[in-house]
Structure 1
Amino acid sequence: MAVEVKYVVVRNGEEKMTFASKKEADAYDKMLDLADNLGEWLQQAPLNLDDEQRDGLSFFLAENKDALGLILRGASPAETGKKPTEAKAKKTASNSKEGSASEKQAA
């Protein structure tokens, strides 16, 4: 007989999702916290969203928080498909190229 350890995320007495690792369960729980906070914030928006729309939107934004962060920092929506580390590497590379060009001008 095998023993399996499962981590269950429970919200308001309802099982939301089951995971094989604590790390995944904690990440999902954190995402649900973010979705709850976004839902409360969206209630203040000057939009007429019903509860289902607001919950769906807040869950979508929480699931895509990395892409949302990039957009809020000024990245174009097309760039949000890239991993944040790729975007940072691209930015660092362009900054180092600019620095070397300015050093050439100063010389």
Structure 2
Amino acid sequence: MAVIVKYVVVRDGKEDMIFTTKKEADAYDKMLDIAEQLHEFLQTSEIDIAAEQLDDLTFFMAQHRDQIGSILKGVAPDAAKKTRASKDKVEAAAEVESEVDEPAAAEEEPAEAPSGPRAAKSRAAA
């Protein structure tokens, strides 16, 4: 019998998504907080947006907050991607070095794909 730890993100009393790591669950919860704040901010504007479109827009913006932040700072999205890609390469190289230094423990199971009503939107946007 296996014991499986799952982290559940609950919003408005309903299970929204299930994750296998706390880090993933916290990141998703933070993204939902950002989407909620964007939703409130955009509702105060004089722009007439349908509720469903507003939900989709704020969710998309929260998912891509790094790129949007770069754009708002005046940095071209391509330049931000290049900087992020080089940073990712450095982190990956450091991770490979640490794996070589430390013997591998037990094989980890692959992370469970998020499930829930927003999972389809998350996969579609990716």
Once residues 83 and 11 of structure 1 are traced to their aligned partners in structure 2, the CA distance between those partners, rounded to angstroms, is 34
Once residues 33 and 82 of structure 2 are traced to their aligned partners in structure 1, the CA distance between those partners, rounded to angstroms, is 25
Map 1:1-107 → 2, pairs under 5 A: 1-84=1-84, 86=86
Q: How far apart are 1:80 and its partner, in Å?
A: 4.6
Once residues 84 and 19 of structure 2 are traced to their aligned partners in structure 1, the CA distance between those partners, rounded to angstroms, is 25
CA root-mean-square deviation: 1.8
Higher relative contact order (CA 8 A, sep 6+): 2
Once residues 15 and 2 of structure 1 are traced to their aligned partners in structure 2, the CA distance between those partners, rounded to angstroms, is 23
Structure with the higher helix share, 1 or 2: 1
The count of aligned residue pairs is 87
TM-score (normalised: structure 2): 0.63
Alignment check: 8 A CA contact 1:66 1:84 kept:
no
Structure 1 residue ranges without an equivalent (≥5): 88-107
Q: How far apart are 1:16 and its partner, in Å?
A: 1.0
Instruction: Give the structure with higher Rg (CA).
Output: 1
Alignment check: 8 A CA contact 1:8 1:19 kept:
yes
How has the CA–CA distance of structure 1 residues 45 and 84 changed in structure 2, closer, same or farther, with 3 Å as cutoff?
farther
Matched-pair identity in %: 52
